[in-house]
A and B are shown apart, each in its own frame.
Chain A
Amino acid sequence: MAPRQSTPPAVLACGEIRTCLLPARQALDIRSAAQLLGLRADERVLLSERPGLYARSPETLTGVDCPLPSANGARVRAVGTVTAHAALTEGRVLQTSAYCRVPGTGPDQRRPWGEYLVRPGVVEPLGKLPHEAVAQGVLGGPRHGDLDVGLIADGLLTRVLRHPLLDQRPPFRSRPTRLRWAALPAAPGEGPSLERFTLAEDELRTVRLRVPEGTTGAELAALCDDLALHDWLLTTVVRMLDGLRLGAGAAQDAGTVVRTLRPAVDHLLHLWMPGARVGRELAALWDPLEERPGFTRQWQALVQRIRDQLTLHAIPAAHREVEPAP
């Protein structure tokens, strides 16, 4: 009888995350969040109150049997399950995250399905995996018919968004973002590293990582969920300020500015906590992003700007005859 440890270690982990504003007028409290994310009757929603309200659904599995995307055109068939969960931060930002790990080699033939189910979140190649080419293929986007974990994240998002707790009246307009990630093994003895974070068109971000053997899919997903959340916050607040004609001088501007910026204060400014839910080792991968371009630096500048604008518009118009340039 083959023992469970027979699966060779994963040489590739990949996933995709959808991040969006919860379409509800009021942010959900922790109990409603547990209801929203109760995807299974027999499993608890994980709830956390420090350092902020955070709820995460049980993991769900989706079976796949298809070629893996690859940059060199190799069509390696793989079989297994993709893990997905949904999470809600401060009752306001909804994320769905789908991911899987892929071992370097697999059997020549598909196994009985029950053997895949005892290794949740593992997609096993038939034969040998060209992992560098597949990682590149994953980040480049799958061709039709190739494994598409983004579809699984989409499917879960659609399911959660249909929940009757949501009144479909978000407090402001925003756009969802997608973050696609792939992690390859680090060189022996090396720690984890973030090789590339790319802002692509169409709200798509890609992240390429190197991690030591033994890093779990769940740890990686936690890091990438965190990156996706903060990237969405930056993207959303930048866009909020972008649409404003500041300093134009018209008297009716004041109302518009306050109306546009207020949701940021109500719903977003307190959410910035990079690395808060990431394991210590992987949390260090925030450092290069903080150095350049400086995610937190940009966030603080945005927050300061919003506060300045709101302060300025709190001053009665009579005293504001000379409008400052933005």
Chain B
Amino acid sequence: MTEPVFRETAAEPRTQSVPLAHLSVELGHLYMEDFEAGPERLRAHFAEVRPWVEAARTAATARAGGKRPRISTCFLIDDYFTRFSTPAEVVPMLLAEAERAGLTVDYLARESGCAVTGKVPVAEAVAARIVESPPPGSYGLRPPAAQTGWLANGERSPVARAPQAMKRAAPWQPPHETAARRHSVFLDVELWSDDADGQRLWSCPFLAAVWQLARLGLLRNEGEAVLAPQPHTAGGFPDKWDELPTLLKLNERADPFAAYRTCSVLPTRFLPVEHAVRVILDQIEVDPGALAQVADRSGKERMAVPDSVADRISYVYYSGP
């Protein structure tokens, strides 16, 4: 096939590529209540996390066929749902506690960066990429549920109507999980809520799904990479969260932030949120260009990457607060 003589760049799709590690390990989330519980909470958390990070590293080495795997670590701080303290106070404490446990935080992210980064409305763009799993019988009519701000892993119970006089009420019908094996585990996830002023608040599972896509190197805006890590150049940390880059590279020698797979080490209380994350990721059509780049490069490295995006993420849950 010969190359065409005439080309128009605006008429062709393009997708920026991002560097990719083998594994992105999340060392934890920090919420206000964790911070308020004092440095002891973080100390206990990192002590629990440490052996699992080792285990993840061992597993990644085995997958890489014994070669040194490229692994980066990251930590997410919530500055979206509640604003607490300042980066100048929180970040050094966090890093000190990680170091005490023998862990290195390569990248630090702010949760609000998963909602909006710079001028890019990341969460809104991801929401527009939801392609709902069709229940059997979907033949082309668009499911009307797309606008309600909820996403389920199956069909909801029919709405019960008030019974008319002399008529029996319709019996309750169960919801149904589309991928059920005999019995359903039905989950309905709230993606966002709008307040009285029309201000949209993204839900924790939805932002966590965006966070996973960022870590998998699958987020793009008009073909450009979103949430690119910024180097940490200044000596200290700012007094305002907004002055901290949404994704900060703390370790100069770190492997790339994005990776073929992710692993998150979290306390068990995150389990419902992360179940919801899987339900969301299973219904997002990610940028095909980004997906092709990952497939291409992992193929060249002979690293198997699961087809389904939701299968690229993994978790370790430890019991604890």
Contacts and interface: CB of A to CB of B under 8 A. Distances in A.
Interface in A39-57: 40-44, 46-50, 54
B310 interface: yes
A1 B139 contact: no
A12 interface: no
A314 interface: no
A65 B129 contact: no
Contacts of B285: 61, 81, 117, 120
Interface string A135-174: 0000000100111111110010000000000000000000
B70 to A, nearest CB: 19
Given A113-B179, A149-B140, A44 B288 contact: no
A117 B285 CA distance: 6
A169 B82 CA distance: 50
Where chain B touches its partner, the secondary structure class is: loop
B120 to A, nearest CB: 8
A31 B146 CA distance: 28
Interface string B152-190: 000000000000000000000000001100000000000
Contact of A112 (B141, B223, B291, B308): B308
Contacts of A63: 131-134, 138, 143
B125 A147 contact: no
B13 A117 contact: no
B135 interface: yes
Contacts of A41: 121, 124-125, 128
A4 interface: yes
A48 B131 contact: no
Contact of B131 (A49, A79, A81, A147): A81
A112 B135 contact: no
Nearest to A147: B139
B30 interface: no
Interface residues of B, number: 51
Contacts of B132: 63
B197 interface: no
Contact of A117 (B12, B131, B137, B299): B131
Contacts of B139: 64, 66-67, 142, 145-148, 151
Contacts of B288: 120
A114 B128 CA distance: 16
A44 B295 CA distance: 23
Interface in B89-132: 120-121, 124-126, 128-129, 131-132
A62 interface: yes
B282 A112 contact: yes
Contact of B133 (A50, A113, A149): A113
Interface in B270-321: 281-288, 291, 295, 299, 304-311
Contacts of B12: 46
Interface string B251-282: 00000000000000000000000000000011
Range of interface residues on chain A?
Answer: 35 or more
A118 interface: yes
A282 to B, nearest CB: 13
Interface in A54-76: 54, 61-67
Contact of A2 (B142, B178, B307): B307
A67 B220 CA distance: 35
A118 B291 contact: yes
Where chain A touches its partner, the secondary structure class is: mixed
Interface in A225-245: none
A4 B294 CA distance: 12
A82 interface: yes
Contacts of B284: 117
B223 A1 contact: no
Contacts of B143: 63
A61 B132 CA distance: 9
A237 B237 CA distance: 69
A115 interface: yes
A143 to B, nearest CB: 10
B140 A82 contact: yes
A3 interface: yes
Given A1-B304, A114-B308, A62 B133 contact: no
B131 A155 contact: no
Contacts of A48: 8, 10-11
Contacts of A42: 120, 125-126, 128-129, 220-222, 287
Contacts of A114: 281-283, 307-311
B307 A118 contact: yes
Contacts of A142: 139
A50 B311 CA distance: 43
Nearest to B308: A114
A113 B142 CA distance: 16
A117 B128 CA distance: 14
A64 B128 contact: no
Interface in A251-275: none
B13 A46 contact: yes
Interface string A102-123: 0000000010111101101000
Contacts of A2: 307
Contacts of B198: none
20 contacts: A1-B306, A3-B299, A4-B307, A41-B125, A42-B126, A42-B128, A42-B220, A43-B223, A44-B222, A46-B10, A49-B8, A62-B131, A112-B310, A114-B307, A114-B311, A117-B131, A117-B283, A117-B308, A118-B308, A151-B141
Given A49-B10, A61-B285, 7 more contacts: A41-B124, A65-B134, A66-B140, A118-B308, A148-B139, A151-B141, A155-B142
Q: A-B pairs with the 5 shortest C-beta distances?
A: A114-B308, A42-B125, A63-B134, A151-B140, A48-B11
Interface of B: 6, 8, 10-13, 120-121, 124-126, 128-129, 131-143, 178-179, 220-223, 281-288, 291, 295, 299, 304-311
